C-alpha cells in the first residue's frame, strides 16, 4: 500500500501546483487523502528526499516547483507570508534583503532576513537561509511596513525609511559600516522624509544620530531635516560613536577623525562606499 500512498500524495502536490498553491499543512493533506498521520509522514519524507517538498516547520510544507528542484526550494518570498501566518506572528522582510527589493543591489544577500516579535531559529530552505531578527515593538514599525507583490501573492517588507533605520539598529545583520553606507547610497533617494522622521521618534536616539550622519555624509541631506527636528525635540543629544567597535579598537580610539556637531556623532573612520 505504500506506493499507493506515495502516488496519491504526489498527485495531491501536483494538483496544488496546478491551482497555483505552494503551501499546505499536514492535517489538510491527511484529510484530503484519507490517510493516517504516520502514512502521510512516510510519503512526505520520500517526496522531501526527491526535492519535491520542503518542510521548514513541523506540519508545514512547501511544494518545490520543478524549475527550482536544483535549488531545493522556491524563493522564500513565495512562502514567507504563509509561514508567518502559520506562526501567527506579525513580521516583515527587512534589512539587507528589503534593501535589495528596493533596488540597493551592490552585493547579493545570502540571508533572507525577517524581523518578527517571536524568537525563531533559522531555517535552511535549499540554497537559502531564512534568518529571524527579534523586534519587541512591532507596532512601532507598523507605519514603515509595506505590501510587496510576489509571484505567488504578497509579503510584508520594510519601507526604505524603516530599512535604513534597521540597518543601523541591527549591525550584526548589516555586514559592517562600509556595507551599510554602500546600501544607503542607493536607498537614500527612496526614503520618505516624513516617514523617516515619524519612525525615528520611536527608536533609540543614538541609532537615528548615526543614520542621520551617514545620510548627510552620502549627500542625502534632503531627507534628514524632519528627523533632526524630531530628535532634538526629545531633548539634548548626547555624543555617540558612529562605530562602537572602532571606539574599542586601540588603532582608532585615541584620535577621532572628526566630530559632527549637527548629529553629535564621533567619527573615527569614514565609511568607504563600493563603486
**Domain ranges within the chain, ordered by starting residue:** 2-74, 77-267
pLDDT recorded at residue 6 = 45
pLDDT recorded at residue 172 = 87
- For the stretch 31-48, pLDDT in tens is 999 999 999 999 999 999
User: Beta strand 145-150 with 60-63: parallel, antiparallel or unpaired?
Assistant: unpaired
In Å, what is the CA distance from 189 to each residue of 70, 107, 147, 175, 178?
Answer: 37, 19, 20, 21, 18
pLDDT recorded at residue 255 = 67
The helix (run of H) or strand (run of E) holding residue 267 is: strand 265-267
Q: SS3 for 254?
A: coil
Answer for the pair 101, 93: CB distance below 8 angstroms, yes or no.
yes
**Grid coordinates of 159:** 519601507
CA angle 264, 267, 270 (to 5 degrees): 135
pLDDT recorded at residue 221 = 94
- For the stretch 194-249, pLDDT in tens is 999 999 999 999 999 999 999 999 999 999 999 999 999 989 999 999 988 777 77
pLDDT recorded at residue 252 = 61
In Å, what is the CA distance from 127 to each residue of 3, 50, 86, 130?
Answer: 30, 16, 22, 10
Dihedral angle computed from the Cα positions of residues 158, 163, 169 and 173, in that order, rounded to the nearest 10 degrees: 90
pLDDT tens, the chain, 275 aa long:
344 444 589 999 999 999 999 999 999 999 999 999 999 999 999 999 999 999 999 999 999 999 999 999 999 999 999 999 999 999 999 999 999 999 997 667 889 999 999 999 999 999 999 999 999 999 999 999 999 999 989 999 999 999 999 999 998 898 889 999 999 999 999 999 999 999 999 999 999 999 999 999 999 999 999 999 999 998 999 999 998 877 777 666 656 678 999 999 999 888 989 86
- Whole-angstrom Cα distance, residue 1 to residue 274? 60
- Whole-angstrom Cα distance, residue 242 to residue 246? 8
pLDDT recorded at residue 161 = 98
| CATH 3.30.70 is the classification of domain 2-74 | no
Amino acid at each position: 500500500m505504500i506506493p499507493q500512498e506515495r502516488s496519491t500524495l504526489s498527485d495531491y502536490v501536483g494538483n496544488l501546483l496546478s491551482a497555483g498553491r505552494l503551501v499546505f499543512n499536514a492535517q489538510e493533506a491527511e484529510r484530503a487523502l484519507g490517510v493516517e498521520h504516520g502514512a502521510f509522514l512516510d510519503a512526505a519524507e520520500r517526496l522531501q528526499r526527491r526535492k519535491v517538498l520542503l518542510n521548514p516547520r513541523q506540519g508545514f510544507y512547501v511544494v518545490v516547483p520543478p524549475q527550482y528542484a536544483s535549488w531545493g526550494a522556491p524563493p522564500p518570498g513565495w512562502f514567507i507570508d504563509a509561514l508567518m501566518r502559520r506562526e501567527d506572528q506579525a513580521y516583515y522582510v527587512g534589512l539587507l534583503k528589503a534593501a535589495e527589493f528596493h533596488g540597493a543591489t551592490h552585493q547579493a544577500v545570502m540571508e533572507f532576513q525577517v524581523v518578527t516579535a517571536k524568537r525563531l531559529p533559522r531555517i535552511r530552505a535549499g540554497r537559502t537561509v531564512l534568518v529571524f531578527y527579534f523586534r519587541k515593538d512591532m507596532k512601532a514599525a507598523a507605519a514603515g511596513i509595506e505590501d510587496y507583490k510576489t509571484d505567488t501573492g504578497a509579503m510584508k517588507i520594510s519601507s526604505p525609511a524603516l530599512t535604513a533605520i534597521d540597518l543601523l539598529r541591527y549591525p550584526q545583520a548589516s555586514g559592517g559600516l562600509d556595507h551599510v553606507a554602500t546600501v544607503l547610497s542607493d536607498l537614500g533617494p527612496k526614503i520618505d522624509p516624513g516617514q523617516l522622521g515619524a519612525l525615528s521618534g520611536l527608536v533609540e536616539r543614538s541609532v537615528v544620530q548615526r543614520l542621520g550622519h551617514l545620510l548627510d555624509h552620502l549627500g542625502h541631506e534632503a531627507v534628514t531635516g524632519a528627523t533632526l527636528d524630531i530628535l532634538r525635540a526629545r531633548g539634548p543629544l548626547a555624543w555617540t560613536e558612529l562605530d562602537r567597535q572602532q571606539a574599542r579598537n586601540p588603532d582608532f580610539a585615541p584620535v577621532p577623525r572628526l566630530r559632527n556637531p549637527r548629529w553629535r556623532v564621533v567619527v573615527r573612520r569614514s565609511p568607504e562606499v563600493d563603486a
